[in-house]
Amino acid sequence: MFLWKACNDSLPTFKNLQKRKVTEDKMCPICHLEEESVTHVLWSCGAAQDVWCQASRQLQKLSLEGTLFESIWGQLYRKLPKPTLEEAGMILRLIWSRRNDYVHGKELRHPKEIINKAHEDLQCFRESNSKVLTATLPACHQSPQRWKKPPDDRYKMNWDAVVNTSKNLIGIGAIISDYNGLVLGTIISSLKL
């Protein structure tokens, strides 16, 4: 959901809050040098760049162009292998969380702390996904369907759920894609019945 909001310029940055007349100031609360847009806070702000400099080498060496975050994410999606893209997604979410903590009076966390937390969260995410994917659940009989992308300038959320009555578990997953077929976000979860 976070990446979907970022790509749709829906995060409550100071620039967006100023447009909605919630605040008068639209400058970045960390660097005070530029308007706080989604692209600025997540990618181009010096504080964000300090975090990206601590990330894996593939992320450190990227040179991306664009003023809209949707363009930045699209370039990441096209250039990075899946494990590095997952790392980038975790780092982006934590950069936003770090910014929110700072705006609400906490100290700005060190970039290395953000990277370490991203790697911990990513490991947990991968372990959770592997448990769900390797679970032996009875198969449903469905007719095969081909995925169709949404119309231009639209987004599509596909979801599925499965119930394992013998283990009292329910699993659910969702994926959000844009009109180019680009995956903007995913979520997967399992719950006890």
pLDDT of residue 5: 92
- Tell me how far apart the alpha carbons of residues 70 and 158 are, in angstroms, rounded to a whole number: 20
pLDDT of residue 142: 58
pLDDT of residue 144: 61
- Helix, strand, coil abundance in the chain, percent, nearest 5: 45, 15, 40
CB 64 within 8 A of CB 72: yes
What does the pLDDT read at residue 138?
54
Tens-digit pLDDT string for the chain (193 aa): 899 999 999 999 999 999 999 999 999 999 999 999 999 999 999 999 999 999 988 888 777 777 899 999 999 999 999 999 999 999 999 999 999 999 999 999 999 999 999 999 999 888 877 765 555 555 555 556 677 888 888 888 888 888 877 788 888 888 888 888 788 888 888 888 7
Closest CA to 1 of 175, 182, 181: 175
Sequence spans of domains, the chain: 2-133, 136-193
Instruction: Give whole-number Cα distances, 112 to 11, 54, 104, 119, 124, in Å.
Output: 24, 6, 21, 11, 18
Do residues 103 and 32 make contact, with C-beta atoms less than 8 angstroms apart?
no
Using a 10 angstrom Cβ sphere, with 0-12 exposed, 13-18 middle and 19 or more buried, the burial of residue 80 is middle
pLDDT of residue 154: 86
Give me the pLDDT at residue 101, please. 96
